[in-house]
Amino acid sequence: MNLAGNTVLITGGGSGIGFALAERFVKAGSTVVVCGRRADKLEEAQQKLPGLHTRVCNVAVAAERVALLAWVRSELPAVNVLVNNAGIQNRVSLATDAEAWETRQQEISINVDAPIHLSMLFINHLREQPNAAIINVTSGLAFAPAAFAPIYSATKAALHSFTLSLRHQLKDTPISVLEIIPPAVNTDLGGPGLHTFGVPVDAFTDSVMERLAGGEIEVGYGTSEKNRMASRTELDAVFEQMNNR
Ligand SMILES: NC(=O)c1ccc[n+]([C@@H]2O[C@H](COP(=O)([O-])OP(=O)(O)OC[C@H]3O[C@@H](n4cnc5c(N)ncnc54)[C@H](OP(=O)(O)O)[C@@H]3O)[C@@H](O)[C@H]2O)c1
């Protein structure tokens, strides 16, 4: 994809991987709008990246997703790239978890309902724009689940599957469908300090953007690059190594 000249909407772009993508799109000459639930995080992002547009939005809520499209159509109608990046990760012990289903369901609403619904909502808008694209952010855990995050891993497998079907169904439209598959990256995912073992966000994002610019449609990094290309036997070994060490 061409990284310049776009108007890019990044969900969850006020911090972490989404913000790193925003920085690179802006540097390449695109306009970027990021959304998230916390207004203070969005303000912080705007201070770090002057010119960044922001919008408070909870993508877990269907009505807010519909309102986001309406806002884009009236305030930034040139949006031609949707990046479904917002996500949360919970560690859940299935045998002992006492949380109410409404709490557990949040992970599914944010990680699955939101990107599927937003993709469907934005198709008609995007097909009118030049160089249109939908970019879904999944995970290496889509291919080999981390059992400590069972719902999260399942949501990412679902989003990977949806991305393949979306690309197939949109193949005769001008909308490209791309997938970014991060490995563990050092962000606040799951809570501050839980992903410090991950790769640096800048190295990961630089590599991803270079490969997207080079025309690749599905991009991993390090272990997630291996996972996305692995055989079932190799993925079984990854599962064992990750969950039984
Ligand atoms: N870091 C990793 O190791 C890793 C690995 C594989 C995949 N990923 C994926 O990469 C994506 C970005 O994660 P990250 O690592 O950058 O995590 P992060 O640092 O926790 O950032 C997540 C962003 O999503 C936003 N967000 C969360 N729930 C939202 C909601 N309901 N509505 C709107 N925005 C919401 C957060 O802002 P608010 O809280 O203000 O809403 C935050 O800006 C996620 O899809 C994640 O699953 C990350």
With the most atoms of ligand 1 within 8 angstroms of its CB, the residue from 105, 108, 187 to mutate is 187
Residue 207 to residue 163: CA distance in whole angstroms: 21
Exposure of 229 in the CB half-sphere (CA atoms within 13 A): 8
- Provide the pLDDT for residue 245: 75
CA distances from 171 to 29, 137, 167, 211 (A): 27, 19, 6, 20
Name the nearest CA neighbour of 181 among 162, 156, 147: 156
Residue with tokens 């992903």, as numbered in its chain: 195
Q: Phi, psi at residue 201, to the nearest 5°?
A: -60, -35
With the most atoms of ligand 1 within 8 angstroms of its CB, the residue from 40, 185, 228 to mutate is 185
Does residue 6 contact residue 80 with C-beta atoms inside 8 Å? Answer: yes
Does residue 170 contact residue 177 with C-beta atoms inside 8 Å? Answer: yes
DSSP 7: E
Both tokens of 233, joined, read 């036997």
Name the nearest CA neighbour of 133 among 80, 183, 64: 80
| Order of all β-strands in the sheet with 7-11 | 53-56, 31-36, 7-11, 81-84, 133-137, 176-180, 218-219
- Provide the pLDDT for residue 177: 98
pLDDT in tens, the chain (245 residues): 999 999 999 999 999 999 999 999 999 999 999 999 999 999 999 999 999 999 999 999 999 999 999 999 999 999 999 999 999 999 999 999 999 999 999 999 999 999 999 999 999 999 999 999 999 999 999 999 999 999 999 999 999 999 999 999 999 999 999 999 999 999 999 999 999 999 999 999 999 999 999 999 999 999 999 999 999 999 999 999 999 97
Residues whose beta carbon lies within 6 Å of some atom of ligand 1: 11-12, 14-18, 35-38, 41, 57-60, 85-89, 110, 137, 139, 182, 184-185, 187-189, 195, 198
- Provide the pLDDT for residue 219: 98
Name the nearest CA neighbour of 175 among 214, 216, 215, 119: 119
Structural domains of the chain, ranges and CATH numbers in brackets = 7-243 (3.40.50.720)
User: 223: CA distance to ligand 1 center in Å?
Assistant: 19
Residue with tokens 């599914």, as numbered in its chain: 108
Atom number of ligand 1 nearest to Cα 13 = 43
Query: Annotated active-site positions, please?
Result: 152
